[in-house]
């Protein structure tokens, strides 16, 4: 690895990103860190008029037939162009109170689950805009707070960055209801990237996801958890302050650890199984780990979807 690549790799680390206050700078550093050292971008957006071929079906306009391919293979393929292959990306970010939790510290800076989610959303949006794709945004807690339908208009990314800097509210989560609302608002087939801890009722979430799938949208589900939530390393008597109106509890955490981890794993596995049952991509993330995993998952999915 070159020295330059090694330098940029650090910008995928939450401890480094926590020291960068500007969200747009965070996003640019993440993208540069991910792409540095690669021979080509795995994010295969469209930068030229011609994009790819697809097989002819009755009723297609024969003006787009690639006759050179026909002469070689005796099969009829059409050329697809920019307007046919552009991506509609919409990032759906949970801004409820539980997303404000963060245990990763770097000096005085704290990296929360919301910081992790917004960094991913900002970086994905930046890449999409650079490839002339359309980008939209939804921010929610127990209701849909802000919604911007996908667009590739100038200034769109700056607008989304501004909205993503909203601080999580002191409210519960209403994921299922929000996803159902989004299904009604999205008029074009889109790739919907959901970033949340999913501490919510799974039956409601399933109904919302089904509504989006019924409308032919693709879903990518990123469950963002804090390292403390994943590992539950507490040992001394601790006062736990519940989020989203859950109250407080003073207890001996070692007595709760096994039961807590069992319930977390059950919830996570149920969410994963639900997603896979609907052909939704699912990835559980730790907000304490490098963004390689989350970004790599998206890039691999995006690359495969347009081949």
The 10s digit of each residue's pLDDT in 27-37 is 998 988 887 74
Tokens of 262: 């069992």
What does the alpha-carbon distance between residue 194 and residue 179 come to, in Å, rounded to a whole number? 9
Angstrom distance (rounded) from CA 19 to CA 153: 31
Q: Give the tens place of pLDDT for each residue, 194-221.
A: 999 999 999 999 999 999 999 999 999 9
Which stretch of 64-68, 117-121, 252-256, 290-294 has the lowest confidence by average pLDDT?
A: 252-256
What pLDDT is attached to residue 74? 73
Q: Which residues contact 69 (CB under 8 A, 6 or more apart)?
A: 53, 75, 77
Contact (CB, 8 A) for 85 and 132: no
Delineate the domains of the chain, giving CATH numbers in brackets: 3-42+87-305 (3.40.50.410), 53-82 (no CATH)
Q: In the structure encoding, which two tokens stand for residue 111, read together?
A: 């990296």
d(C-alpha 300, C-alpha 274), whole Å: 21
Strand partners, 52: 80
Residues belonging to the chain: 307
């Amino acid at each position: 690895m070159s020295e330059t690549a090694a330098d940029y790799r650090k910008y995928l680390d939450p401890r480094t990103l926590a020291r960068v206050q500007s969200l747009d700078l965070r996003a640019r550093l993440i993208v540069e860190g991910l792409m540095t050292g690669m021979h080509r971008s795995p994010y295969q957006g469209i930068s030229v008029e011609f994009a790819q071929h697809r097989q002819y079906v009755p009723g297609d306009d024969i003006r787009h037939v690639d006759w050179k391919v026909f002469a070689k293979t005796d099969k009829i393929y059409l050329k697809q162009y920019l307007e046919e292959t552009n991506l509609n990306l919409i990032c759906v970010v949970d801004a409820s109170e539980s997303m404000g939790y963060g245990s990763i510290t770097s000096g005085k800076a704290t990296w929360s689950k919301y910081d992790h989610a917004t960094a991913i959303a900002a970086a994905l949006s930046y890449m999409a805009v650079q490839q002339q794709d359309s980008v939209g945004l939804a921010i929610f807690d127990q209701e849909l707070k802000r919604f911007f339908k996908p667009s590739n208009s100038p200034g769109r990314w700056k607008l989304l960055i501004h909205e993503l800097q909203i601080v999580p509210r002191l409210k519960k989560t209403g994921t299922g209801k929000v996803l159902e609302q989004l299904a009604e608002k999205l008029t074009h087939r889109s790739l919907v990237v959901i970033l949340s801890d999913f501490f919510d009722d799974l039956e409601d979430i399933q109904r919302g996801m089904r509504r989006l799938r019924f409308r032919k949208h693709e879903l990518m589900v990123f469950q963002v958890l804090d390292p403390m939530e994943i590992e539950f390393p507490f040992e001394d008597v601790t006062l736990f302050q519940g989020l989203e109106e859950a109250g407080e509890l003073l207890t001996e955490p070692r007595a709760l650890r096994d039961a807590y981890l069992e319930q977390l794993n059950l919830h996570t596995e149920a969410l994963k199984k639900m997603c896979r049952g609907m052909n939704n991509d699912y990835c559980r993330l730790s907000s304490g780990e490098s963004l390689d995993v989350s970004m790599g998952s998206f890039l691999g999915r995006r690359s495969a979807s347009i081949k």
